[in-house]
Chain A
Amino acid sequence: MRFLRQFAAAVAVVAVVVLIGLAWNRFAPALPGEGPAGHASAVRGQMIRILPPGSKPPSGGRTVAGAKPPPGAFGVMRNNSGSGMPGLLLGDLLEPANLAVLWHSALLEAAVITAVVIVNASYRRLRRTRRARTGVTGAGRS
């Protein structure tokens, strides 16, 4: 019963955030940090580049003939020799090119974790040293 009550509360909080997103889309459908170059999104075997309305695709971008771009994108540009629209081919996951993407994400997260842990540990050590100097004990967590 307690779990259900807490689950309902969590659902309510998440629903509020989703409603904020819907309101954002309804009343101010623009995102912070959107530059004139638009955003690029990597898709396996493709690069989809989204540009603001009225912009032209960059020179040298080879668009894939017959490929339907998603709304807001000017076209589907082939980035490598991928096989176009990806399917559920589990064997593809272990290809070195695809593994490199996962490796990159894992490395990024590990780097941030390491940096935060180092900063956090240094801060705790500094605080402990200060507390030891001033003779204050038992205030807060160590």
Chain B
Amino acid sequence: MSASSATPPAGATPHRVRHRVQVAGRARLDFWFDAVILAGYTVAYSYGFTGVVIHEWLGIGLGIALLLHLTLHWDWVVRTTRRLLSPRGHDKLIWLVNLALLFAMTLCVASGIAISRVALPELGVSTLQTPFWFRLHVLTAEVTVGLVPVHVALRWRWIAGVGRRMLGWRPRGWSR
């Protein structure tokens, strides 16, 4: 979830930003892209729903989406990592959750690729297929399914704010 796009742009007063109904293109992109990742992960986790073929291709897609998500929020990563040592640094909990999620999701996708039975063999790539990667995939998927909603929920104010503005809902007493 984005922290950077929730930050008011330079020169804009908080009052103006709070009451602006127009949503910045970047915030809109973050909102929808993150929503697609959340939905994609929920579907991919439901192996009994998707079956192996959709599960594997969706997992590979999620790996690419994870890279793009990390790239889009790289500024936040750098800024928050620098602020970690500061006693008044914000977002320490979010940083830790995000780090754990990065490890869990990356290992989940990597182990999924290692044990791929359909997608990679179809591309002519032989896979590792060892019990370690199979068990790691199950474990990291379970950790990820716990951390993804926490990751989302810790940004609920940003999500609610952007969602409200995109739907055109204005708080009571709003005037232009």
Which residues on A are within 8 Å of B, measured CB to CB? 3, 6-7, 9-11, 13-14, 17-18, 20-21, 24-25, 29, 31-34, 39, 41-44, 50, 70-73, 85-89, 92-93, 97-99, 101-102, 104-106, 108-117, 120, 139-141
Contacts and interface: CB of A to CB of B under 8 A. Distances in A.
B104 to A, nearest CB: 9
A140 B90 contact: yes
Tell me the interface secondary structure of chain B in the complex: helix
Nearest to A18: B110
Interface in B60-113: 66-68, 70-71, 74-75, 88, 90, 102-103, 106-107, 110-111
Given A14-B66, A50-B134, A50-B135, A70 B115 contact: yes
Contact of A101 (B46, B132, B154): B46
Contact of B102 (A17, A25, A105, A109): A17
A13 B106 CA distance: 10
A18 B51 contact: no
B110 to A, nearest CB: 5
B166 interface: no
Nearest to B156: A117
Given A17-B107, A41-B47, 14 more contacts: A10-B67, A17-B103, A24-B136, A25-B133, A31-B135, A43-B47, A44-B48, A50-B131, A70-B134, A72-B134, A88-B54, A106-B42, A116-B149, A120-B154
A86 B46 contact: no
Nearest to A51: B131
Contacts of B102: 13-14, 17
A34 B52 contact: no
Interface of B: 38, 42-43, 45-54, 66-68, 70-71, 74-75, 88, 90, 102-103, 106-107, 110-111, 115, 117, 129-136, 138-139, 145-146, 148-150, 152-154, 156
Contact of A102 (B43, B71, B75, B145): B43
B35 to A, nearest CB: 13
Contacts of B148: 109
Contacts of A112: 146, 149-150, 153
A117 B135 contact: no
Given A21-B136, A87-B51, A113 B152 contact: yes
A141 B90 contact: yes
B130 A71 contact: yes
A18 B43 CA distance: 23
Contact of B67 (A11, A85, A116): A11
Contacts of B90: 140-141
